[in-house]
């Protein structure tokens, strides 16, 4: 005969199964706990649950499941009897929603209404299954909110990414924590695609939704059977016979050509228009490079999620190094293809998107690096190509001859460095670049609106010898005909026209591109907004006075280390993305003169990289010249560019940094201003926007002079460190 206790247990089990409305509202749950003076950790210990789970119950993100649900209901019932809610008390407000970014991405279009979206080459993944996953807008007291899209996409209700710890907790943006039951990599991928509701909507109607990113901590990697270090230090990937790789193969999952490395991309071919792809980032394998992300990989999982989530909301969901992300956001904002209607069949098919890079094209031989087949066919390995044989558009690395320092300059007390904010990003703004392949022409007339490479003699343009020459990276005058990108030649024409110099632009030949577009404009806009928004979060805004700006910059990185890491990553995304346009071969198996995988990308475009760097360099020279002209007392006579002895001139340039000698330690002690206190027109201007400058560092005069005498560049060390190692 069944005992009374057994009957009660059976009834309790039935009640647990049907109990759905036995819990008070989330806000009341929190009130009762706080009224009793209990912590979330105490309740979690009593219910054999995690503290994060109790927090989610109180926020209404998730609901407890049997058997914990009945026990939690009993606890709350007992607390309600002891601590009834006052009748006059106003209802507790729900948890605050995450704030909305001004640069929020648009929602993904409805495939049923948009033929463009319906015919996208890689359609969006299907909506996740209904689950008890929490709402992405709420935040906890320990995690700051991150920018969220203006309109929530239900498929990605839990944000773009999660950070997995060794106990199966997946920390997402906004303080959300999910329980991940997976104990193998294939199970993790399955769970992510079926239940996690992670991902992000596309940045362009013709683009692709961002696949979910799962970041694995060291403990999570061990839990999933992955080693803490990669034995293959050259290829940086697991061997093909590793058990995890075999598990993925048995489960019919595939890896990209880069294999299972720090950024592992796991996928299956799309089925019925549904993408099946998950990106993994392994922290113990160095997925987050310290040069770009600082010490982010050493943070707690919730803080890592905050850093990466902020970056994802403002730039793109990471899927590789910041250089990879820089390239990915280019194509996400200007996809290569769009949906077009086939007039013959009446169906929607994939076609090129106007204004985008739609197919891979080979560069002109002068634009190709030495190992490229186009250059290797003309010159043997080891041949040092001359300026008349190769396009050499690089950033400045110049120092002034110390013999050209004036007595007045040597009497100044300090060397002060100023640095252009995101110089390459500013250079990309409104820049016309070529879309099509190069066309060779002889003796063309120069057109500044035609992207290309030009063989022209600019050695006859004479400038003040104390100025860096704008036509070479080393700042010394060219010695004869050389190849230049369009922005460099356009600046030469500008100097000739503005100052009536006795020279003419007569190209001998050129490789031009007949189809042009401001391809990088969306890239510039998104990254510049990301940069300015992050700087604003760190207390540096565009409405500050110059004195306030300098003071804010002194402490902005200490304001919030997590946001400082986001800022570093954004700046690395800019530089790395431009560098990726001319990615060199990486494999140790590459042979000189053979093609390598990057050449098959539409975005492998060394000519675009050259145009951006050329623009950044001439922008720097233009500001140097305008600053000099604004500080000399006598005007420069027409017909030459010899400046007065009192003109303010730099002693060193390194990429986006310029070093000046000054009577005082601040940029305000030497930068020119008008009578009403405004920066002189065209000169360097302090401020937060891309293209404006900040204080880079200050050293004593004798230090700078000694650097020059020894042939070293003061701009590299003006901060007291090596700028190259600092990523500047």
pLDDT band at 125 (very low <50, low <70, confident <90, very high): very low
* 128 has pLDDT over 80: no
* More confident site: 459 or 236: 459
What's the pLDDT at 583? 97
Mean pLDDT across the stretch 324-333? 97
Q: What pLDDT was estimated at residue 678?
A: 94
Neighbour count for residue 393 (Cβ, 10 Å)? 25
Q: Which H or E element spans position 696?
A: strand 693-700
392 CB burial (10 A radius; 0-12, 13-18, 19+): middle
Phi/psi-derived region of residue 337, left when phi > 0, alpha when psi is between -120 and 50, beta in every other case: beta
CA angle 513, 515, 518 (to 5 degrees): 105
pLDDT tens for each residue of 249-297: 999 999 998 899 999 999 999 877 678 999 999 999 999 999 999 999 9
Rounded to an integer, the average pLDDT of 200-206 is 94
Q: Give 631's pLDDT tier (boundaries 50, 70, 90).
A: very high
Please, are residues 125 and 189 in contact by the beta-carbon 8 Å criterion? Answer: no
Whether the CB-CB separation of 414 and 698 falls below 8 Å is answered with: yes
Judge whether 161 and 215 are in contact, CB under 8 Å. yes
| Mean pLDDT calculated for residue range 381-391 | 96
- Percent of the chain exceeding pLDDT 90 equals 71
The rounded distance, in Å, linking the Cα atoms of 56 and 356 is 44
pLDDT at residue 149 tops 70: no
- What's the pLDDT at 280? 98
Stated pTM of the model: 0.80
User: What is the number of alpha carbons within 13 Å of residue 218 lying toward its C-beta?
Assistant: 10
pLDDT, residue 91, reads 39
CA-to-CA distance for 128 and 305, rounded, in angstroms? Answer: 21
Which ranges of 632-681 does DSSP label H, i.e. alpha helix?
Answer: none
Angle CA(161)–CA(165)–CA(170) in degrees, nearest 5? 40
Query: In terms of Cα–Cα distance, which of 213, 200, 202, 210 is closest to 136?
Result: 200
Which SS3 state, helix, strand or coil, does residue 677 take?
coil
Instruction: Report the 10 Å Cβ neighbour count for 474.
Output: 13
Better-predicted residue by pLDDT, 71 or 523: 523
pLDDT confidence of residue 670? 97
Report the pLDDT value the prediction gives residue 275, as an integer from 0 to 100. 83
Whether 425 contacts 527, CB under 8 Å: yes
Q: Mean pLDDT over residues 504-532, rounded?
A: 97
Give the 3-state secondary structure of 518-587: CCCHHHHHHHHHHHHHHHHHCCCCCCCCHHHHHHHHHHHHHHCHHHHHHHHHHHHHHHHHHHHCCCCCCC
What is the model's pLDDT at position 724?
A: 57
Q: 366: Cβ–Cβ under 8 A, 6 or more apart, which residues?
A: 389, 390, 391, 453, 455, 483, 511
Is pLDDT of 132 > 60? no
Displacement of CA 136 from its chain's centroid (Å): 23
Looking at residue 59, what is its pLDDT?
82
- Provide CB contacts within 8 A for 18, sequence distance 6+: none
Axis-axis angle for helices 521-537, 301-314 (nearest 10): 140
**Cα first-last separation, the chain:** 81
pLDDT top residue among 125 and 61: 61
Residue 364 has pLDDT above 80, yes or no: yes
152, 341, 684 from 155: Cα distances, Å: 9, 28, 47
The predicted pLDDT at position 34 comes to 82
Residue 289 to residues 283, 320, 557: CA-CA distances in angstroms? 9, 10, 18
Cβ atoms of residues 611 and 485 within 8 Å: yes
d(CA 330, CA 572): 14
- By the 8 A CB rule, do 315 and 534 touch? no
Least confident of 36-45, 282-291, 460-469, 670-679: 36-45
- Indicate the DSSP class of residue 391: B
Mean residue pLDDT across the chain: 87
DSSP letter for each residue of 254-269: EE-TT-SSSEEEEEEE
Nearest to 407 by CA among 706, 714, 701, 713: 701
Per-residue pLDDT for 312 more than 80? yes
Q: How high is the pLDDT of residue 233? A: 78
Band (pLDDT 50/70/90 cuts) for residue 4 is low
Residue 263: per-residue pLDDT: 97
CA atoms of 573 and 578, how far apart (whole Å): 8
Inter-residue contact 642 to 698 (CB < 8 Å) = no
Residues contacting residue 240 through CB under 8 Å, at least 6 positions apart: 259
DSSP symbol at 41: H
Residue 669: CB partners within 8 Å, gap ≥ 6? 414, 416, 662, 663
* Longest CA pairwise span in the chain (Å): 115
Give the other-Cβ count within 10 Å of 44's Cβ: 18
For residue 118, what pLDDT band results from cuts at 50, 70 and 90? very low
Between residues 60 and 574, the one the model is more confident about: 574
pLDDT, tens digit, for every residue of 223-243?
Answer: 999 999 998 878 889 999 999
Comparing CA positions, the residue from 105, 97, 47 lying closest to residue 76 is: 47
State pLDDT tens for residues 675-717.
999 999 999 999 999 999 999 999 999 999 999 999 999 999 9
Q: What is the pLDDT of residue 101?
A: 35
CATH topology of domain 4-82: 434 Repressor (Amino-terminal Domain) (1.10.260)
User: Are 118 and 339 contacting, i.e. CB atoms less than 8 angstroms apart?
Assistant: yes
- For residue 654, the surrounding DSSP H or E stretch is strand 652-654
CA 427, chain centre distance (Å): 16
Residue 295 has what pLDDT? 95
What pLDDT is recorded for position 134? 38
Split at pLDDT 50, 70, 90, the class of 150 is very low
Of 722 and 302, the one with more pLDDT:
302
- The whole-angstrom separation of Cα 32 and Cα 38 is 9
For residue 15, what pLDDT band results from cuts at 50, 70 and 90? Answer: low
Q: Is the pLDDT of residue 127 over 60?
A: no
pLDDT at position 138 over 50: no
**With 70 as the cut, is the pLDDT of residue 498 above it?**
yes
Q: Where are the domains of the chain?
A: 4-82, 115-320, 373-395+429-517
The answer to whether 263 touches 279, Cβ cutoff 8 Å, is yes
In this structure, the number of other CB atoms found within 10 A of the CB of residue 121 comes to 15
Strand partners, 695: 418
DSSP code, position 192: I
Nearest CA-CA partner of 623 in 339, 418, 373, 385: 418
User: What pLDDT does 494 receive?
Assistant: 97
Contact 148, 313 (CB under 8 A): yes
Whole-number Å distance between alpha carbons of 9 and 604: 68
Torsion of CA 26, 27, 33, 37, to 10 degrees: 160
Beta bridge partners of 352: 337
Residue pair 202/332 in contact by the 8 Å Cβ criterion:
yes
What per-residue confidence (pLDDT) applies to 41?
A: 80
């Amino acid at each position: 005969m069944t005992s009374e206790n057994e009957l009660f247990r059976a009834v309790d089990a039935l009640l647990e199964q049907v109990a759905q409305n036995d819990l008070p509202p989330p806000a009341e749950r929190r009130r009762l706990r706080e009224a009793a003076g209990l912590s979330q950790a105490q309740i979690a210990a009593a219910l054999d649950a995690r503290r994060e789970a109790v927090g989610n119950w109180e926020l209404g993100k998730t609901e407890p499941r049997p058997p914990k649900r009945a026990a939690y209901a009993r606890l709350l019932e007992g607390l309600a009897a002891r601590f009834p809610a006052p009748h006059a008390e106003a209802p507790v407000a729900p948890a605050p929603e995450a704030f909305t970014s001004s640069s929020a991405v648009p929602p993904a279009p409805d495939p049923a209404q948009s033929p463009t979206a319906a015919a996208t080459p890689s359609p969006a993944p299907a909506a996740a299954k209904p689950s008890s996953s929490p709402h992405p807008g709420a935040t906890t007291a320990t995690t700051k909110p991150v920018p969220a899209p203006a309109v929530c996409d239900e498929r990605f209700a839990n944000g773009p990414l999660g950070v997995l710890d060794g106990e199966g907790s997946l920390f997402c943006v906004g303080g959300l924590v999910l329980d991940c039951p997976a104990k193998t990599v294939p199970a993790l991928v399955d769970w992510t695609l079926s239940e996690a509701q992670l991902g992000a909507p596309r940045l362009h109607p013709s683009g692709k939704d961002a696949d979910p990113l799962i970041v694995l901590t060291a403990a999570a990697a061990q839990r999933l059977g992955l080693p803490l270090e990669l034995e293959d230090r050259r290829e940086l990937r697991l061997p093909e016979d590793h058990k995890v790789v075999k598990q993925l193969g048995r489960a019919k999952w595939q890896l990209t050509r880069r294999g299972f490395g720090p950024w592992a991309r796991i996928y299956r071919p799309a089925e019925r228009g549904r993408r099946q792809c998950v990106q993994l980032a392994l922290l113990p394998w160095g997925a987050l490079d310290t040069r770009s992300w600082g010490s982010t990989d050493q943070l707690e999982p919730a803080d890592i999620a905050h850093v990466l989530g902020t970056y994802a909301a403002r730039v793109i969901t990471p899927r590789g190094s910041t250089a990879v992300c820089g390239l990915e956001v280019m194509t996400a904002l200007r996809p290569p293809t769009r949906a077009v209607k086939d007039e013959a069949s009446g169906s929607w098919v994939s076609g090129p998107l106007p204004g985008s890079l739609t197919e891979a094209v080979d560069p002109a031989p002068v634009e190709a690096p030495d190992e490229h087949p186009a250059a290797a066919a003309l010159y043997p390995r080891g041949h040092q190509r001359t300026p008349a044989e190769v396009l050499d558009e690089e950033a400045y690395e110049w120092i002034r001859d110390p013999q050209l320092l004036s007595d007045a300059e040597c009497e100044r007390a300090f060397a002060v460095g100023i640095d252009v904010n995101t110089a390459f990003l500013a250079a990309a703004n409104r820049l016309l670049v070529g879309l099509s392949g190069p066309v060779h022409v002889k003796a063309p007339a120069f057109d500044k609106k035609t992207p290309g490479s030009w063989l022209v003699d600019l050695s006859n343009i004479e400038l003040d010898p104390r100025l860096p020459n704008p036509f070479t990276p080393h700042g010394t005058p060219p010695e004869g005909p050389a190849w230049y990108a369009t922005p460099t030649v356009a600046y030469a024409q500008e100097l000739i026209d503005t100052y009536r110099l006795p020279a003419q632009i007569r190209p001998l030949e050129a490789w031009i591109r007949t189809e042009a577009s401001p391809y990088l404009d969306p890239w510039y806009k998104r990254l510049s907004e990301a940069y300015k928004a992050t700087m604003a979060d760190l207390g540096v805004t565009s409405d500050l006075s110059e004195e306030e700006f300098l003071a804010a910059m002194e402490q902005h990185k200490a304001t919030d280390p997590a946001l400082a890491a986001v800022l570093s990553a954004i700046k690395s995304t800019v530089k790395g993305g431009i560098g990726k346009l001319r990615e060199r071969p990486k494999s140790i198996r590459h042979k000189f003169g053979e093609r390598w995988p990057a050449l098959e990308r539409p975005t492998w475009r060394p000519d675009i990289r050259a145009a951006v760097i050329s623009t950044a360099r001439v922008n720097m020279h233009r500001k140097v010249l305008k600053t000099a002209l604004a500080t000399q007392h006598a005007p420069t006579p027409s017909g030459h560019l010899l400046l007065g002895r009192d003109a303010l001139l730099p002693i060193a340039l390194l990429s986006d940094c310029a070093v000046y000698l000054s009577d005082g330690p601040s940029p305000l002690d030497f930068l020119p201003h008008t009578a009403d206190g405004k920066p002189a027109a065209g000169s360097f201007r302090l401020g937060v926007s891309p293209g404006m400058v900040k204080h880079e560092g200050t050293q004593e005069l004798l230090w700078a002079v000694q650097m020059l005498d020894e042939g070293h560049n003061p701009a590299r060390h003006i901060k007291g460190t090596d700028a190259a190692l600092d990523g500047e």
